[in-house]
Structure 1
């Protein structure tokens, strides 16, 4: 039983009623001009319904009319965040974009005519039921009946009193039903077009890609910094040499500072959606990665062939992250082992090759199923390149090829 009366306590029930009554205003204004509202006949009522239709069709041809109707529908037909009972998000099914095609204009015209007819009908029914309520209330108070409503109430005061709540409930449920039908029609006729749905899907895809990119940035940068710090701290404790400890602390400080800079760049992007990412490191600044790895005790040999300055910035940025993950993978899983790095720019491609010796007694390779190496393959694929990771003899190899055209 409480569920039966729940719609009567919701604010949206009455905002939908107001939405429909507002639509009837145009019909009454036009009807006052022609054919007149003084004792209208059945023919006059038909004209009151029909006369405003050409005006509404012309108004629907204006693109911004669809936006105006969409905003009204969102505000009055669906419960928003301020409502006591939260809605189901249905307002998101109503577009607030101007008409972009003749199909949109046609759907807007149908919506305006439907809103006019339903609004005028609800206004007439509401008026008759409210007049009957006044008659019944007056009859229950002992006043004569039959002077306001065309509907004939009972003559007894008791009968009038018993019918008051019945008629009131009928009125309210007429309003509830008409409002629900109107909300469904709004979803159908004012909903996003195919082009708008496609644009929204593309925007959502872009946001997801940006979130994945930010997640990779954080994983690579912070993962590298923490790995270097752990390796350096362990090596300093094992060495017991004050000079080595000083060098280790300096390397930890430098790596941590670089990670904080990367974190600040990512936070700027998260705080300001339109803020472009600036100052991201590239392979030209790879020396700090190599220095941090060497400071950990690893022997790092680097070979560079080809014009690195001719490589586009996006490729250099992703190449830096790939090299960072490669070095992090070495330090995390193999420790301070010799590492050979080869950077080659030739035949329209940038080749990045990272090899390290597998320590004796190392566990069998898993095929590179970790998040870091998966991120390497994803970065390469996004740029149209390819990446291969895995053991080659007694070495672990990360080989990436990226197009530079």
Structure 2
């Protein structure tokens, strides 16, 4: 009994009934246009005073107009929002955005016609049937009703039949609730089929997810290269300064001063780069300007200087004609190469060669292999993978590994 009552008048049933009433309200303008058209054909007038044929004729004319209105871009988003809110459907079963393609537009037209058409009938019954049922219920208790047209229609020649009006009125109300619940359940079952994503919608969603994943990967690379390099360089410089100071009275204070200066420059530069990376996260807010360009090859000397005295830089060719995007990515590649060397080279000298004399920008970084292999990081590293991704996105190549007694990172990127 409780389950039956919940199916007819529970929260879900009430929300779906409301969904149908919303459809009936949306159908009213189309029905009014149909009333004018059919009234002109039949020679009848009045929206609510016409014959039953006029009312249903207007209903028949309004349904095709609903199907035409469903072709407008706003039709599917509005229908999806209403169905999600009132039909209790999972969000992923319905499509987002306007319908794309003939098939999706046809399904949207089918849904809107079904929703507004069924909603008009249920709304009309919800307005007309409850007052009639309540009047039938009151027949045994009201002499005025028994003497009215309703009483004569009900047939009061038999007194015992008068009390049959009570269960009849209750059954009318229950029948209305049952029809509304069944119609709401029908629409809920048809919604995923008629408003669900089409192949074009799934492709667009997959492209959005791919773009979001690429954006996250880009931010991860920027943070890894910028912050990771800064921490490695600061750790290296601070460790070198500490070892010099531990040497006693003969400590090379000039070396310590240079190390502290390098730490200061590195942290100041990294704060600026971090602001730039965080600005990428705010780029979606149109009220703020996007971040300016990140560091490029013009900042390469400062980067190498901050990496310590054992890093030597050689530049061949003019860097000014290098495109801005390539300049930024080349800077990040050198930055990650220096970070990798600081972690794994064991303090060995590092040489950085950048050749921009040909149609390709070539970056080569080498350091002697340490006597003892470096200790592997617990979770591995992603720096060299990020270098390969940057090079691949620009149509270039990246190779890294031991060769001829040195560790070599070689990157070639076309201009």
TM-score, normalization by structure 2: 0.78
Cα distance in 1 for residues equivalent to 2:154 and 2:102:
45
State the aligned residue count.
388
Paired residues of 1:141 and 1:157 also in contact (CA < 8 A): no
DSSP 3-state at the match of 2:292: coil
Cα distance in 2 for residues equivalent to 1:246 and 1:86:
68
Of 281, 286, 292 in structure 1, the residue corresponding to residue 295 of structure 2 is 281
Q: Which runs of 5 or more structure 1 residues have no equivalent in the other structure?
A: none
Paired residues of 1:365 and 1:391 also in contact (CA < 8 A): no
Paired residues of 1:142 and 1:157 also in contact (CA < 8 A): no
What's 1:216 paired with?
Answer: 221
Q: 1:20-169 to 2 correspondence within 5 Å?
A: 20-26=23-29, 28-29=31-32, 30-31=34-35, 34=39, 40=51, 46-56=56-66, 59-60=69-70, 65-67=72-74, 69-79=75-85, 88-89=90-91, 93-97=94-98, 106-127=106-127, 129-131=129-131, 133-135=133-135, 137-139=137-139, 147=150, 155=161, 157=163, 160=166, 164=170, 167-169=172-174
**Residues 179/299 of structure 1: CA separation in 2 closer, same or farther (3 Å cut):** same
Deviations 1:240-274 (A, max 9, x none): 14443333222222111111111111222212315
Cα distance in 1 for residues equivalent to 2:331 and 2:4:
61
Cα distance in 2 for residues equivalent to 1:2 and 1:293:
73
Of 229, 236, 244 in structure 2, the residue corresponding to residue 231 of structure 1 is 236
**Residues 243/48 of structure 1: CA separation in 2 closer, same or farther (3 Å cut):** same
What's 1:353 paired with?
Answer: 364
Cα distance in 1 for residues equivalent to 2:96 and 2:110:
15
Cα distance in 1 for residues equivalent to 2:346 and 2:11:
68
Of 375, 392, 400 in structure 2, the residue corresponding to residue 389 of structure 1 is 400
DSSP 3-state at the match of 2:261: helix
Shift of 1:58: 5.0
Cα distance in 1 for residues equivalent to 2:317 and 2:362:
10
Aligned-residue Cα RMSD (Å) equals 3.8
Q: 1:179-198 to 2 correspondence within 5 Å?
A: 179-183=184-188, 185-190=190-195, 194-195=199-200, 197-198=202-203
Paired residues of 1:20 and 1:115 also in contact (CA < 8 A): yes
**Residues 101/87 of structure 1: CA separation in 2 closer, same or farther (3 Å cut):** closer
Cα distance in 2 for residues equivalent to 1:228 and 1:245:
14
Shift of 1:340: 1.3
Deviations 1:46-99 (A, max 9, x none): 523322245445545xx6x331x334324432228xxxx986225x834443x6
Paired residues of 1:66 and 1:105 also in contact (CA < 8 A): no
Larger mean CA deviation between 349-358 and 13-22 belongs to: 13-22
**Residues 54/2 of structure 1: CA separation in 2 closer, same or farther (3 Å cut):** closer
Deviations 1:190-218 (A, max 9, x none): 55665555444333322221111011000
Paired residues of 1:386 and 1:401 also in contact (CA < 8 A): yes
Deviations 1:19-46 (A, max 9, x none): 22214424653347635665845x5565
**Residues 105/364 of structure 1: CA separation in 2 closer, same or farther (3 Å cut):** closer
DSSP 3-state at the match of 1:330: helix
Query: 1:207 and 2:217 equivalent?
Result: no
Cα distance in 2 for residues equivalent to 1:155 and 1:72:
50
What's 2:248 paired with?
Answer: none
Larger mean CA deviation between 329-338 and 138-147 belongs to: 138-147
Q: Which runs of 5 or more structure 2 residues have no equivalent in the other structure?
A: 246-250
Query: 1:176 and 2:181 equivalent?
Result: yes
Larger radius of gyration: 2
Cα distance in 1 for residues equivalent to 2:120 and 2:132:
18
Larger mean CA deviation between 315-324 and 327-336 belongs to: 327-336
Larger mean CA deviation between 337-346 and 217-226 belongs to: 337-346
